[in-house]
Amino acid sequence: MPIPTYFPPACGAASPLTATVTRPVRFEEVDALGIVWHGRYASYFEDARVALGDKYGVGYLDIYHRSISAPIKQMRVDYMLPLTFGETVTVEATLHWTEAARLNYSYIIRNGRGEVATTGCTVQLFLDPQGQLQVCQPEFIADFMTRWKRGELAR
């Protein structure tokens, strides 16, 4: 099955940024059948999203220290193969370029055999300290985007 394209690249877009984490499937994450319960995938996505944010300087604390919040507005999960207890999985997060005031992430989870087990995406929006939606990128994010577009971010 082909990997879905959740965010098609726009003309002139900067190359996507990625980070990958490897983690075991823990006992608490599986159901009575020994497979990962569907509600656990959000935390798998978060593991990789946190790694990507920390790698490029746009992690949760970087955003928080600037009095911005970035809640998830949308999440999609596409299940292909089950993950099982004890398996070591890899979760890849990719941040896709956008000129909008949002963060577009896609995810690929591979099982212990390297097969694509799950894909998905999230969209995060920005809120100011009063909880108001930001229609323009916060200055911190706009600066990050400029550096990204110039190719100044360490990969």
CATH of domain 17-149: 3.10.129.10
Least confident of 2-11, 39-48, 61-70, 132-141: 2-11
Distance CA 101, CA 141 (A): 8
Question: Residue 2: its pLDDT value, please?
Answer: 80
Mean pLDDT of 101-125: 98
Distance CA 79, CA 113 (A): 16
In this model, does residue 154 exceed pLDDT 80?
Answer: no
Tokens at 30, concatenated = 């599986």
What 3-state DSSP class applies to 2? coil
pLDDT band at residue 155, thresholds of 50, 70 and 90? low
Residue 109 — φ and ψ, nearest 5°?
-110, 125
Rounded to two decimals, the pTM is 0.94
Which residues partner with 115 through β-bridges?
none
Mean pLDDT of the chain: 95
Tell me the domain boundaries of the chain. 17-149
CB within 8 A of 59, min separation 6: which ones?
50, 53
Question: Residue 10: its pLDDT value, please?
Answer: 85
